[in-house]
């Protein structure tokens, strides 16, 4: 890893906060940003000049490689305020490790751990008033890295910018989620970048997702690129299927994102003595389970929505409805996760990370 001794974090504070202009009861996910952001540049083979400064626009060359070759990766994490005003992160070490894993896959330099945690905790402390207490309220944190070298030669950039933005968020209520099982488009392929949180993975989903929306569905369940036989992810999330009382999900591979919510759900399920099978899940077995009544639930798991239950899915010409389960696995894991994240329960796995 490209690291050196801890570099001093430069801090430039806003003259006056914008917080008074924000309606915290009416937030659109990811569209309002807190007062400060973090920026650090990679040049001459080293990360330098880590700086927290007022949130605002960047000046960047139109020839920067990120615009031409999509060398960009990101993370999603959240800060939570408990009922006593303490601020917590959830498994931030996982996001740190994953952004570097994503960077390596995209031929980008790894970011030093000490600067990451110094910047993250300082930024969250500085803008902690932007985190409102109450279940569902959080500060969505978006670390990302982009290639900034000027030049359209198709080779890895020699310069990068690592940034962290923070956006106050309310409960990510998506309403009823109906999904289409993909039988043509795919999200990732063997040997591809599916396991990386590469920006282009998400941009590439927009077109097939729009097609699903035109048919009245909100999301796509992605299947393997070879034969569309295996179920892999749902929209921007990992996906779980409950067949009778067994939980099924695709195993981690170079096609599947190693989701923090995914691995937390698996740990909670095992703790609750629920049988979990991490194995290739056939479309045909889920269609058959829907037909014979053993398919009880499908839900997505990700940082933004936490757990997102699916109420119906379509496959080729058929649509299958799933009964709403107020006390099903999805509701249970969502409550268990939120209780840990908001410091309302014990933390047997040591997932909470106290910021202030």
Rounded CA gap, 68 and 70, in Å? 6
Interatomic CA distance for residues 90 and 26, integer angstroms: 24
How far apart CA 274 and CA 30 sit, in angstroms, is: 34
How many Å separate Cα 214 from the centre of its chain? 25
Report yes or no: 107 and 71 within 8 Å, Cβ to Cβ: yes
Per-residue mark of binding to ligand COI, 63-82 (x: CB under 6 A): -------------x------
Minimum CB separation from ligand COI for residue 334, in Å?
13
User: What is the nearest approach in angstroms of ligand COI to the Cβ of residue 31?
Assistant: 12
Which residue in the block uniquely carries the two structure tokens 């896959």? 105
Q: DSSP letters of 115-181? A: HHHHHHHHHHHHTGGGSPPSTT-EEEEEEEEEE--B--SSS--S-EEEEEEEEEE------SEEEEE
Under rule CB under 6 A, residue 24 binds ligand COI:
no
Give residues with Cβ within 8 angstroms of 155, minimum separation 6.
none
What is the closest distance, in whole angstroms, from the C-beta atom of residue 302 to ligand COI in the complex?
Answer: 3
User: Which residues inside 247-306 make contact with ligand COI, applying CB under 6 A?
Assistant: 302-305
Min separation Cβ 53 and ligand COI, Å:
24
- Residues in Cβ contact with 65 at an 8 Å cutoff, skipping those fewer than 6 apart: 71, 147, 148, 149, 150, 151, 152, 156, 157
Contact between 32 and ligand COI by CB under 6 A: the answer reads no
Q: Interaction with ligand COI in 321-340: which residues (CB under 6 A)?
A: none
Tell me the per-residue interface mask from 194 to 213 with ligand COI, x by CB under 6 A, - otherwise. --------x-----------
Q: Site mask, ligand COI, residues 154-193, x = CB under 6 A?
A: ----------------------------------------
CB of 143 to ligand COI, least distance (A): 12
* Minimum CB–partner distance for residue 188 and ligand COI (Å): 14
Cβ 79 vs Cβ 354: under 8 Å: no
Which C-beta is closer to ligand COI: that of 72 or that of 237?
237
User: Interface residues with ligand COI (CB under 6 A)?
Assistant: 76, 202, 236-237, 302-305
């Amino acid at each position: 890893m490209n690291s050196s001794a801890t570099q001093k974090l430069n801090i430039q504070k806003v003259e006056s906060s914008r917080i008074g202009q924000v309606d915290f009861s009416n937030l659109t996910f990811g569209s309002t940003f807190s007062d400060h952001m973090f920026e650090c540049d990679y040049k001459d083979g080293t990360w330098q000049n880590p700086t927290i400064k007022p949130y605002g626009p960047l000046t960047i060359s139109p020839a920067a490689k990120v615009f031409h070759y999509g060398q960009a990766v990101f993370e999603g994490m959240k800060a939570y305020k408990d009922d006593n005003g303490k601020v917590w992160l959830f498994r931030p070490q996982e996001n740190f490790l994953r952004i570097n894993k994503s960077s390596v896959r995209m031929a980008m330099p790894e970011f030093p751990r000490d600067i990451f945690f110094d910047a993250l905790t300082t930024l969250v402390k500085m803008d902690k008033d932007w985190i409102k207490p109450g279940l569902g309220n959080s500060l969505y944190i978006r670390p990302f890295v982009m290639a900034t070298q000027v030049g359209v030669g198709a080779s890895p950039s020699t310069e990068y910018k690592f940034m962290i933005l923070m956006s106050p968020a309310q409960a990510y209520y998506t309403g009823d989620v109906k999904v289409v099982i993909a039988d043509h488009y795919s999200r990732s392929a063997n040997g591809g970048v599916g396991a990386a949180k590469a920006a282009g993975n998400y941009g590439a989903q927009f077109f097939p997702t729009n097609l699903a929306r035109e048919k009245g569905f909100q999301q796509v369940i992605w299947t393997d690129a070879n034969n569309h036989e295996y179920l892999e992810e749902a929209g921007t999330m990992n996906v779980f299927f409950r067949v009778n009382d067994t939980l099924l999900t695709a195993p981690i591979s170079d096609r599947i994102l190693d989701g923090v919510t995914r691995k937390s759900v698996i740990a909670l399920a095992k703790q609750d003595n629920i049988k979990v099978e991490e194995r290739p899940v056939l479309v045909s077995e889920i269609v058959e389970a829907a037909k014979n009544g053993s398919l009880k639930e499908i839900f997505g798991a990700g940082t933004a929505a936490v757990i997102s239950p699916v109420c119906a899915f379509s496959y080729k010409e058929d649509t299958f409805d799933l009964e709403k389960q107020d006390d099903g696995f999805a509701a249970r894991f969502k409550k268990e996760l939120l209780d840990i994240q908001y410091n309302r329960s014990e933390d047997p796995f040591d997932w909470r990370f106290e910021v202030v």
